[in-house]
């Protein structure tokens, strides 16, 4: 028998679209591992929740899914349990701090793109239930330019590209921009410069990437903002807590809130450009076919 929490979720989901809620889907990626992409995703999600948004984070990092580790939460279910255990979407949504909801990809998530059409349709039908349930769905994708990550990136409403001021990170971030441009030059990309020692360093890094993208690709890449280097971040990781929760007044936490504020301001100006979960599912299905 379904518990009361599940029934309440389904009831909320059914009535939410009638209130006109639009679900924005954002893919967060990076050119290389180790730049703090998942940590930025997690804390950005918590910042959105602080601002009154309902958020679901979807861990689709096929190689290093670790959102649950960063939160100190043990995921009971994973995405493919929708098929293998024949359970509903609401049963695989896990809960983290401050009401954050997330879906764990799991080690077997690589099977997602190899499912037969019947199973894929069943899975996508369940995911479509998130349309109208959340204001924002964040996809924590794998680093780099793998075929699987690129499919998620190109299916989202917009892309957050996380990099650091290190030269290798900048080079790899530009490689991602080039790959996205080759597949869909109209993709909205926004830069997040992580571990910036100062505003000047963050601005210089962002300007370098946006200028090169414009000059050589003719692509307008925007800058969402910077997350300043802060020892509280590594301390929070060791404690398996998001730094926005463990150290809410730290410089990194203030940086995240600034990113959220900038994002919400731009999102309100572009509400008509949202494809949401339905658009995401249509694009994923077309790519796999």
Mean pLDDT (the chain, rounded): 88
- 20-24, 70-74, 232-236, 253-257: the lowest-pLDDT one: 20-24
Domains of the chain, each with CATH number or no CATH = 24-288 (3.40.50.300)
Q: What is the pLDDT of residue 256?
A: 98
Q: How many angstroms separate the CA atoms of 64 and 202, rounded?
A: 27
Bridge partners, residue 196, by sequence: 228
**Per-residue pLDDT averaged across 130-156, rounded?**
89
Look up the pTM and report it.
Answer: 0.91
Longest dimension (CA), the chain: 60
Q: Is the dihedral of CA 79, 184, 256, 197 positive or negative?
A: positive
Residue 170 has pLDDT above 80, yes or no: yes
Q: Tell me what the mean pLDDT of segment 55-80 comes to.
A: 84
Cα(16)–Cα(282) distance, rounded to whole angstroms? 21
Which residues, in sequence order, are CB contacts of 60 under 8 Å at separation 6+? 105, 109, 139, 140, 141, 142, 149, 152
Share of the chain above pLDDT 90, in %: 61
Strand order, beta sheet including 101-103: 94-95, 101-103, 55-60, 136-141, 24-30, 158-163, 189-196, 222-228
Q: Is 34 left (phi over 0), alpha (psi -120 to 50) or beta?
A: left
For residue range 183-210, what is the model confidence (pLDDT) as tens digits? 999 999 999 999 999 999 999 999 999 9
Structure confidence by residue, pLDDT tens digits, 224-264: 999 999 999 999 999 999 999 999 999 999 999 999 999 99
| pLDDT, greater one: 122 or 253 | 253
């Amino acid at each position: 028998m379904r518990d009361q929490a599940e029934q309440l979720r389904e009831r909320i989901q059914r009535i939410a679209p009638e209130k006109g809620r639009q679900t924005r889907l954002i893919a967060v990626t990076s050119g290389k591992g180790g730049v703090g992409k998942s940590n930025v995703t997690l804390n950005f999600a918590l910042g959105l929740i602080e601002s009154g948004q309902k958020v679901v984070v979807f861990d689709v990092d096929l190689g290093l899914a670790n959102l649950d580790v960063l939160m100190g939460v043990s995921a009971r279910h994973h995405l493919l349990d929708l098929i293998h255990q024949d359970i509903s979407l609401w049963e695989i949504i896990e809960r983290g701090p401050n009401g954050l909801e997330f879906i764990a990809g799991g080690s077997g998530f690589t099977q997602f793109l190899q499912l037969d059409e019947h199973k894929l349709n069943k899975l996508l039908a369940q995911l479509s239930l998130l349309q109208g349930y959340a204001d924002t769905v964040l996809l924590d994708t794998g680093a780099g330019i793998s075929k699987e990550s690129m499919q998620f990136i190109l299916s989202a409403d917009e892309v957050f590209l996380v990099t650091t001021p290190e030269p290798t990170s900048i080079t790899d971030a530009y490689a991602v921009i080039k790959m996205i441009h080759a597949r869909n030059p109209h993709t909205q990309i926004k830069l997040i410069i992580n571990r910036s020692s100062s505003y000047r360093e963050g601005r210089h890094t962002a300007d370098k990437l946006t200028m090169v993208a414009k000059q050589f690709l003719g692509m307008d890449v925007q800058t969402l903002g910077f997350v300043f280097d802060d020892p509280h971040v590594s301390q929070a990781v060791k404690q398996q807590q998001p730094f926005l929760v463990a150290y809410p007044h730290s410089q990194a936490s203030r940086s995240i809130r600034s990113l959220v504020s900038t994002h919400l301001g731009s999102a309100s100006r572009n509400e008509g450009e949202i494809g949401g979960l339905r658009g995401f599912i249509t694009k994923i299905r077309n790519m796999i076919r």
